[in-house]
Each structure stands twice: as C-alpha cells, then as structure tokens.
Amino acid sequence: MSISVPLNTTLQLSPSSSLSLFFPISSSTAVSVCGIRRRCLRIVTSCVSSAQSSVKNNGAATDSVSVVGRDLIRLGLPSKGRMAEDSLNLLKDCQLSVKQVNPRQYVAQIPQLPNTEVWFQRPKDIVRKLLSGDLDLGIVGLDIVNEFGQGDEDLIIVHDALNFGDCHLSLAIPNYGIFENINSLKALAEMPQWTEERPLRVATGFTYLGPKFMKENGIKHVAFSTADGALEAAPAMGIADAILDLVSSGTTLKENNLKEIEGGVVLESQAALVASRRALTERKGALETVHEILERFEAHLKADGQFTVVANMRGTSAEEVAALVQTQPSLTGLQGPTISPVYCKRDGKVLIEYYAIVICVPKKALYKSVQQLRAVGGSGVLVSPLTYIFDEDTPRWSQLLRNLGL
C-alpha cells in the first residue's frame, strides 16, 4: 500500500509523539509509508509500531525491515506470572540460568550465552518487538503469537511445545436460557435470534483471532467487543451472549454457568520458542545461538519424565539375557535394552556370571518395568531420573533450516 505525501506536508507518525517529519519534495513525488518506516526505525520504535498499525492489518507488521545493527542477540521472556516463572525454570533446567542483578531491571544476562541478553517484556510486546526488530528470540504462548503476529511471515516457530502454559482458546456460552440445548458451533450459528440488527455478541480480548475464526467457519451476524475485568461475567451481566477466552481446566467456566461447545475451540496453545526470520538470517551469531538453545531444550524435554533402570541378571551370554528380557513388553525402553557383562573374580579367575541391563522407561511404566525385570531374574534394580537425551540429530533444527531455506 502506498500513500502520496503532497508538497510541504507534515507526517505525524505517532499520536503520542511530538516527532514530525518534513519532506522537501516536489508535488509529483510520492513517498511510501513503507520507506518512511524504514528510515524511522532507528529514531524511535514506538513511531514504527504506530505507523504499522495505521497502515495494515490492525497493528501487525507486514513490511520487511532491515535488522538494526547491534552485536548482542536479544531474547524476550515474559516479565511476570506463571509463564515467566516456567520460562526461567526451563532455562535453568537446561543449564542456561538467567542472571538478573536487580529484580526491578528489565534486562539480564545468561552467562553460558555471552552474546545474548534477556529482556523481560509483556507477552504481546515480545511478539511486537520481534516484528519490529527490537528482539530476535522470545518465549511466548502460541495464542499470543497468533493473535499479535497475525500470520506475519517474519515470525518463525522454532519449538512449538515447551511443555508449560497449556491452554486452549475457546468459545463459551451460558448453559441456561436460550442456550441450554445448544451444544455445538453449528447449532449456535443456526439460532434464528442472530440478525444483522441483533448479532451474536461475543466478548473477547482476541480481536484478531475471534473474527478470523467466525469468518473461516462461515458464521455471520457476529459482533465482537472487549469487556473490563473477567470475561466470564459478561453474559450474566447482559453485555454479551458468549465469550472467547483462554481455558485451562474449565473450572472457572463451570463456576460461572458457562460451557464450551463442540467445534468452538479456536486453537490449542502452550509456550513456544519464537524467532524473527530476519534476525536468524541477517544477525551475526543468531542462528548458532538458536541451535544451542534448541538442542538444550530438545534434550531436556525428551528426557523429562524418563528414568534409567539398571539391573543385574544371571546368564551365559548377552544374547541369552537379551532374549529373556525381550519377552517382557515393558523392557524394550527407548531403543531396546543395553546389556553388558559384569566381571567378578573367583578363585583367582575373572568370570562372567551376570549381565547388567540398562533400559530407559517413562515414569508411567516405571513400576511395571521393575516388576517385569524381577520376574525374569533381575536383581539389585537401580532407578534414576534422566536429565538429558541428546540425539544424533535434532529434528526441529533440520525443520528450522528448511523453513529458512538454508
């Protein structure tokens, strides 16, 4: 989209800023807002954000902006709440502890990544600053990525399942009155009450995903609004017919006489590692840093909930013991058992009478595996939790390179 600026026109980029730009150009010259944004990026980020909002997609950045010249790679983390705590814990578990001198400061360091600095931001600002080039990486929920990223191709999901922040964005309606027998999105859409003059009123904070979801499902006559405070109170107060909000356990909905309906889930969400495509391809060291973070995340998350089980078994050969172990379905582990000889000394001679079995099993199968080991003659069973499982290759790294065209 291009907007022509006539001679001696003042272009005010941000309502909250006193910055005005004058262009000494002829009346036949057209100046693109996109070009203006590129020149202003180094002056003030807020002006860029405001210009982007006024041009396209209700605030989503859509134009390519060159990466600002700086040496340090910036990782955005949620500044408060459960997501902030879980993000720090994940990094700590991956030996990437964040060192914050003062809890009131918004910037911190990760000693193991000396070329990286951490910036604590609101989740929606993490996405916005990834798009503006002020951040290179971020940990944020997929719901926030989709709502504030609005499908921008510069946002790239590096890891989509960090195993915390689980929830889903869902439509909920009252379980009483005219909605008592409405249990699906289709039934809700077919209710004769909704007309152009009296549309279905939906209260939500997701003003991009909500309308998009309704349009994709062919539902007309819908009006979206935001409500102060808890959205769950909106239907009871009579200011909305339904709500579109994040749901974890669903307890809050039930306590407010609301219900989810079939086909009403907009998206499943959890914490994700997100990056700027431009930063990964243009900023020095960014891709290497992402590789290290990704490998640490993958190794730790794969090991999460896994246990190493070691036991000794009497046998004449490793093959004999392996055949005996393989008769038990819970003893195959991730890639089958590892069996090695146990050397003992008797009457001055080194003998092999026992073999050590090592398997890796998930927590839910742990006790059953121990029982089956005992059943086939296992003794001295040792159990320890796993911290990391490093594969020969990291699948998400290969996928990332393909997404980047590398």
| Segment 341-397, tens digit of pLDDT | 988 888 888 888 889 999 898 999 899 989 988 988 888 899 999 999 998 888 899
Bridge partners of 345?
Answer: 350
Does residue 248 carry a pLDDT above 90? yes
pLDDT tens readout for residues 21-37: 333 333 343 334 344 43
Q: Give the bridge partners for 361, in sequence order.
A: 307
At residue 66 the predicted structure's pLDDT band, cuts being 50, 70 and 90, is low
- φ, ψ dihedrals at 50, nearest 5°: -70, -40
Q: Write the pLDDT tens digit of every residue in 305-329.
A: 999 999 999 888 898 888 888 888 7
> Please, are residues 50 and 58 in contact by the beta-carbon 8 Å criterion?
no
What are the pLDDT digits (tens) for 364-376? 989 998 998 898 8
CA 234 – CA 230 distance, rounded (Å): 8
Can you read off the two tokens belonging to residue 227? 């409500």
The model's pTM? 0.76
Helix (H, G, I), strand (E, B) or coil at 50: helix
How is residue 322 written in tokens? 């392996």
Pair of tokens at residue 169: 């964005």
What are the φ/ψ torsions at residue 13 (nearest 5 degrees)? -80, -30
* More confident site: 65 or 401: 401
* Domains identified in the chain and CATH numbers: 10-55 (no CATH), 73-165+271-302+396-404 (3.40.190.10), 167-268 (3.40.190.10), 306-385 (3.30.70.120)
- The pLDDT of residue 114 is above 50: yes
How much is the pLDDT for 47? 37
Task: Check residues 57 and 113 and name the one with the higher pLDDT.
Answer: 113
Residue given tokens 């503006």 in the structure block: 132
pLDDT at 17: 39
Cα–Cα distances (Å) from 324 to 4, 96, 123, 257, 365, in that order, read 80, 42, 53, 57, 19
Confidence of residue 119 (pLDDT cuts 50, 70, 90): very high
Does the pLDDT value for residue 198 go beyond 60? yes
pLDDT at position 24, please?
A: 39
pLDDT of residue 350: 83
Q: What 8-state DSSP symbol labels residue 142?
A: H
Measured CA to CA, the distance from residue 48 to residue 37 in angstroms comes to: 6
Mean pLDDT value of segment 68-73: 82
Q: Render pLDDT for 172-187 as a digit per residue (tens, 0 to 9).
A: 999 999 999 999 999 9
> Is residue 68 over pLDDT 70?
no
Flag whether pLDDT at 45 surpasses 60.
no
Angle in degrees, CA 95, 99, 100, rounded to 5 = 150
For 42, other C-beta atoms within 10 Å of its C-beta total 12
Lowest mean pLDDT among 27-31, 96-100, 234-238, 259-263: 27-31
b/e code 228-259 from CB counts within 10 Å (16+ = b): eeebbbbbeeeebbbbbbbbeeeeebeebebb
- Tell me the residue type at 271: A
What dihedral angle (degrees, nearest 10) is formed by the CA atoms of 260, 264, 269, 274?
Answer: -150
Task: Quote the CA–CA distance of 365 and 76 in Å, as a whole number.
Answer: 37
As given in the structure block, the two tokens for residue 325 are: 């172990």
Structure tokens at 106: 């918004």
Question: With bands split at pLDDT 50, 70 and 90, how would you rate the model's confidence at 228?
Answer: low
What is the C-alpha separation between 118 and 76, in angstroms, rounded? 6
Alpha-carbon Rg of the chain, whole angstroms? 28
Element (DSSP H or E) covering residue 278 = helix 277-282
Strands 200-204 and 242-247: parallel
